[in-house]
Structure 1
């Protein structure tokens, strides 16, 4: 297993997930809800930044690897799933939205794995729909975690709008990937 700074950043993103979730089990007498929510939002933002940074560094320093290509999306999906489950527990995201986003991630990951085994991974390569979906949810989640208005900007409302957009893009991108994979599935199933 290769170890370099991009992979270390990915492992850091995975390691911070229990800390992120544990924040919501700290008694309010130790940390107020607004402070807890701000810390959680910043942890998620830092994780999103490291997601971008590890890929950029790996490409720039020519340190890409099959293991890094596997681990990076796993870290992303774990962090998003943990955040959505926390938001669900807090009543800040609808269960249908959380189910759609998490379910799509599992389904498309399985599809990509299967297509790779058939030598057809290019047919389900990342598309701009997936990138927009990721961007929408990466902005929505910290807004929903933070919940408080900032200089009269309704952060939470922005998060609610963006998470619905992310869910719609999630469904759209899932159908896009399934459509791209269908000829291979039909011919080899």
Structure 2
């Protein structure tokens, strides 16, 4: 499969968390892997060349690849990864030029490769002609509680609403203290 993509949720909807889970579960099945987080911010701050270099460096370990320009980076990715089965996650993509620079077409990567793209914009996925679009929905209250309890330190035991309220008060108090401490350290 060439691409699987997640979209449909706004900020905080769990797209990155889901992509991270898939990455951690399946990365051992690939020759090389790379998880590029927060492309929206990093591409505007550091440029696409740095993100292209990250993909090359992560997949071709231990080589640290330097990319001189976006076009050079496109050729380097295609030439060096076209015979490798890779898993690449492109997180929080918001412009077509990002997709074109980081995962231009099917022939950039070897057979069996998987590119996962998280985005808030379904149009980008359609224009880029992806193979599979997976729409991710938000969890309802019960599903959220089940997931929370599964990863909580006390195990799968369901907690009652009053216990959750107590926990949230403790977290809020800790966060407030942390924010106060951080503020005093900065000023």
Task: Give 1 or 2: higher helix fraction.
Answer: 1
TM-score by length of 2: 0.23
Task: Give 1 or 2: higher strand fraction.
Answer: 2
> Highest Rg: 1 or 2?
2
| Higher-RCO chain (CA-CA 8 Å, sequence separation at least 6) | 2
